[in-house]
C-alpha cells in the first residue's frame, strides 16, 4: 500500500508495478498530485531530471500516465488512520470510513502530511474576494494589479509567473532576505516586479472585492497601493495527523528512516518530504530515488524469489498500460 499520491507516491506506484507488486494508493485529497496539484499546479518545476522545466500539473499528468501500468487501486478522499501489525501475516490499515485493508507492506509518501496555509490576519476576511493562498490559474490575474506576500520559493515563483500578464506585480516581504532559490531571486530582481522588503500588508481595503492594500514599513512609514488581487504565500502549517500515532520514530514532524527507507516499524517505509535521515535533501527528484530504493527493498521483503537489485529496466519488456 502507498499512502500519499504526490510525485513520490505516484512514482512508487509505477515502480511497484514494475517489480510485479499489486498496489493500493490512499490519499486524503480528492485528486492525484498531492501538494503539487493543490499548491502550485501552474508553477514551473526545475529540478526534475530530463525536463529543463515542467509545469506542476504536466508533471503529475506524466506521472499518472506512467503509474497507470501498475493497475493500482486508488482510494482518494480517504485517510489511513490506523495500523495493526500482524507479524508474518502483514499489516492491517484502517481508513477513516471504517474500511480495513490488508497489505504486505506500507510505503508512506504523505509529503508534509495535512497542511493549512499560514494566515495574514489583515487579509483573512477577504478570502475568495480577491485574496487567495495559492495560484491555481494565472489567467485570473491578467491585467490586474497583484500584490504577493512572502519570501519563499512559492511567493517568488508566483510573482515571476504572473508578471507577464498582470498590469503590475508587487512582492512584499517582511524581512530583507528571501528564502527562495538564488537563481529565482536573481530573475526576480531583474524583472519588473516591485520588491518591497522589511514591509508587510497591514490593511486590506475594498467593498465587495479588494481594491487596494496598505503596506507598512519597518521604518514606520506606510502607503496605499492599488490591488485587485492579493496572494498570501506565507507558507503553511503541517501536521502528520493520524500517522503520528502509528508508533514510528518521528523527529521534527518527519518520519525517521534508514538507508533502505525503512521506518522503525517492520514492513513500513517512508519516502519524500515526510521522511528524514542524515544528509536529506528535499527535492522531488530525490523523492523519486527514495521511492525506487524503498520499492526494491519491499519487493525483496515480500517475495522470496525477488532480489533487491532489479537489474536494468532496458533488459525487460515495456510495461503495458492497464485498462
Residues annotated within the binding site for FAD are 27, 35, 40, 80, 115, 273, 314
Q: Nearest 5°: CA angle at 200, between 228 and 184?
A: 80
- Other C-beta atoms closer than 10 Å to the C-beta of 9 total 30
Maximal C-alpha separation, the chain: 71
Among 107, 112, 109, 108, smallest CA distance to 39 is for: 112
Grid cell locating 59: 508533471
Half-sphere exposure of residue 54, counting CA atoms within 13 Å on the CB side? 17
Q: Give the Cα separation of 240 and 196 in Å (integer).
A: 34
Annotated binding-site members: 27, 35, 40, 80, 115, 273, 314
**Strands in 43-121 per DSSP E:** 44-45, 54-55, 73-76, 80-85, 91-95, 100-103, 106-108, 114-117
- Separation between Cα atoms, residue 163 and residue 181, nearest integer Å: 18
* Grid cell listed for 21: 507488486
Whole-angstrom distance, CA of residue 222 vs CA of residue 199: 9
What is residue 250's three-state secondary structure? Answer: strand
Q: Which residues make Cβ contacts (< 8 Å) with residue 234, sequence separation at least 6?
A: 117, 118, 119, 120, 149, 150, 155
Are residues 137 and 299 in contact, defined by beta-carbon separation less than 8 angstroms? no
How far is Cα 276 from Cα 255, in angstroms, rounded to an integer? 6
Taking a C-beta distance cutoff of 8 angstroms, is the pair 148, 156 a contact? Answer: no
Task: Please measure the distance between the N-terminal and C-terminal CA atoms of the chain and give it in whole angstroms.
Answer: 20
Amino acid at each position: 500500500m502507498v499512502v500519499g499520491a504526490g510525485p513520490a507516491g505516484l512514482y512508487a506506484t509505477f515502480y511497484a508495478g514494475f517489480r510485479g507488486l499489486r498496489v493500493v494508493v490512499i490519499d486524503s485529497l480528492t485528486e492525484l498530485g498531492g501538494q503539487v496539484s493543490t499548491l502550485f499546479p501552474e508553477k514551473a518545476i526545475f529540478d526534475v531530471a530530463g525536463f529543463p522545466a515542467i509545469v506542476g500539473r504536466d508533471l503529475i499528468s506524466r506521472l499518472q500516465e506512467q503509474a497507470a501500468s501498475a493497475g493500482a487501486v486508488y482510494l482518494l478522499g480517504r485517510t489511513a488512520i490506523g495500523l495493526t501489525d500482524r507479524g508474518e501475516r502483514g499489516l492491517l490499515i484502517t481508513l477513516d470510513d471504517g474500511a480495513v485493508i490488508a497489505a504486505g507492506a506500507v510505503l508512506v509518501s504523505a509529503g508534509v502530511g495535512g497542511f493549512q496555509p499560514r494566515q495574514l490576519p489583515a487579509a483573512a476576511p477577504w478570502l475568495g474576494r480577491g485574496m487567495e493562498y495559492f495560484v491555481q490559474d494565472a489567467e485570473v490575474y491578467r491585467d490586474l494589479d497583484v500584490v504577493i506576500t512572502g519570501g519563499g520559493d512559492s511567493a517568488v515563483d508566483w510573482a515571476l509567473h504572473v508578471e507577464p500578464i498582470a498590469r503590475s506585480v508587487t512582492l512584499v516581504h517582511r524581512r530583507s532576505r528571501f528564502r527562495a532559490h538564488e537563481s529565482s531571486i536573481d530573475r526576480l530582481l531583474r524583472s519588473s516586479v516591485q520588491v518591497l522588503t522589511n514591509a508587510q500588508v497591514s490593511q486590506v481595503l475594498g467593498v465587495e472585492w479588494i481594491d487596494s492594500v496598505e503596506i507598512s514599513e519597518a521604518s514606520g512609514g506606510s502607503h496605499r497601493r492599488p490591488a485587485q488581487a492579493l496572494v498570501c504565500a506565507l507558507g503553511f502549517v503541517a501536521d502528520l495527523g493520524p500517522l503520528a500515532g502509528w508508533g514510528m520514530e518521528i523527529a521534527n514532524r518527519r518520519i525517521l528512516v534508514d538507508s533502505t527507507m525503512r521506518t522503525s516499524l517492520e514492513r513500513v517505509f517512508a519516502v519524500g518530504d515526510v521522511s528524514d535521515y542524515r544528509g536529506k535533501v528535499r527535492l522531488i527528484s530525490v523523492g523519486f530515488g527514495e521511492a525506487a530504493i524503498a520499492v526494491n527493498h519491499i519487493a525483496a521483503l515480500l517475495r522470496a524469489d525477488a532480489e533487491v537489485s532489479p537489474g536494468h529496466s532496458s533488459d525487460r519488456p515495456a510495461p503495458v498500460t492497464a485498462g
